[in-house]
Amino acid sequence: MAVFLAFLAALLYAVSTPFSKALLVHMDSTMLASLLYFGAGIGISILWLLTPGKKEKKKNNLTKSDLPYTLGMILLDIVAPICLLSGLSAATAANVSLLNNFEIVATSVIAFLVFKEPVSIRLWTAIALITLASMILSFQNASSLQFSYGSLFVLIACLCWGLENNCTRKISSRNIYEIVILKGFCSGLGSLVIALVLKESFQELPYMLYALLLGFAAYGLSIFVYIEAQKELGAARTSAYYAAAPFIGSFLSLALLHEKATSSFAVALIIMAAGTVLVSLDTMMIHHKHMHTHAIAEMSNGKLHTHTITHSHDHDHLGNKADHHHHHIGMRQI
């Protein structure tokens, strides 16, 4: 059941790209970004209200010391989806889905440069492969090296989300419902203000409702299902299953939007898949290494405290480890 939930989380997030592409025919990108985040905020708020246990709801709430990272998270979550949807309006949904994997590169490199977290050879290889695939997807014409306008905005969005992942990492031990609700309403409000400044108008009510529903499913409900899967599978295995999301999004785009897969797309797909597999293996190997090392250390002292293994290196939904000094990778959920 947990494996099914992990894949369901990936599927729910994957539908965001092709369905957002379809909605962009009827509304502007910034307004759509606003509605997607509002949908997530509203949906998760309803789930929070329906969740039993008042004490659990208030557990690990954000504090004043978390304010810089919280503000950074919200601001980046305003800029990133606007860039993503702007890029999506000028590129195929299949390409954009695959390019989303560049977020892994951005997250890892920022963690290495800013937080001084070591990166394994396996992950550096994965970064190189994903970067190469992203470059292939970013050129409209390889012979003339014409750079794709849409891809540029998607890559900027990935960079923003890579930085946002590192901000969220700092508050990952806090109440997940509070974090997602704040992201949903604050980022949605920020995008709405920008949309109104740009004189983007509200569209027909049915399309607005579709956008809210898509935001709840792809940006909100997905994280809820992910957390449920993580309770049984653990963080490493769940994030490995979740890595399928960009590929599911690409195939859905080809099937639902009848987009054609070019030869460059096929090559990039293979390279991107190899890089993603290495990322998943790296995550799983580090998780296994933590468990093995801790067990030996504790056995040498004549004690075995398995609770330190399961809690000390847990990940948040972004794939980030809460209390650690090792590299982290992740795909942003909302």
CA distance linking residue 271 with residue 130, whole number of Å: 7
pLDDT one-digit tens code per residue, 273-315: 998 888 878 766 655 554 444 444 444 444 444 444 444 444 3
Distance from C-alpha of 192 to C-alpha of 187, rounded to nearest angstrom: 8
Report the alpha-carbon distance of residue 287 to residue 299 in Å, rounded. 19
Integer angstrom CA distances of residue 102 from 128, 293, 324 = 10, 31, 23
Q: Is the pLDDT of residue 77 over 60?
A: yes
Strands (DSSP E) along the chain, which ranges? 139-141, 146-147
More confident residue, 317 or 190: 190
Burial class (CB in 10 A: 0-12, 13-18, 19+), 102: buried
Q: Write down the pLDDT at residue 321.
A: 38
pLDDT at 281: 81
Nearest one of 27, 21, 22, 165 to 97, comparing CA atoms:
21
The residue written with tokens 């919200």 in the block is 74
Residue 233's pLDDT band, with cuts at 50, 70 and 90, is confident
Tell me if residue 179 falls in helix, strand or coil: helix
Residue 258 has pLDDT above 70, yes or no: yes
What is the average pLDDT value for the chain, to the nearest integer? 81
The CA distances from residue 8 to 98, 104, 233, in Å, are: 18, 21, 14
pLDDT: is 238 or 250 the higher one?
250
The sign one gets for the Cα dihedral 313, 74, 112, 279 is positive
Q: What pLDDT, on the 0 to 100 scale, is given for residue 284? A: 67
HEC secondary structure over 223-272: HHHHHHHHHHHCHHHHHHHHCCHHHHHHHHHHHHCCCCCCHHHHHHHHHH
> How does pLDDT run across 171-228, given as a tens digit for each residue?
877 888 888 899 899 999 999 999 999 999 888 899 999 999 999 999 889 888 887 7
Residue 334: the pLDDT is 58
Q: How confident is the model at residue 262 (pLDDT cuts 50, 70, 90)?
A: confident
Strands of 127-221, DSSP E: 139-141, 146-147
pLDDT band (50, 70, 90) for residue 142: low
Strand partners, 321: 315
What's residue 303's pLDDT? Answer: 40
Pull the structure tokens for residue 22: 């379809």
The model's pTM: 0.80
Q: In this predicted structure, what is the pLDDT of residue 227? A: 75
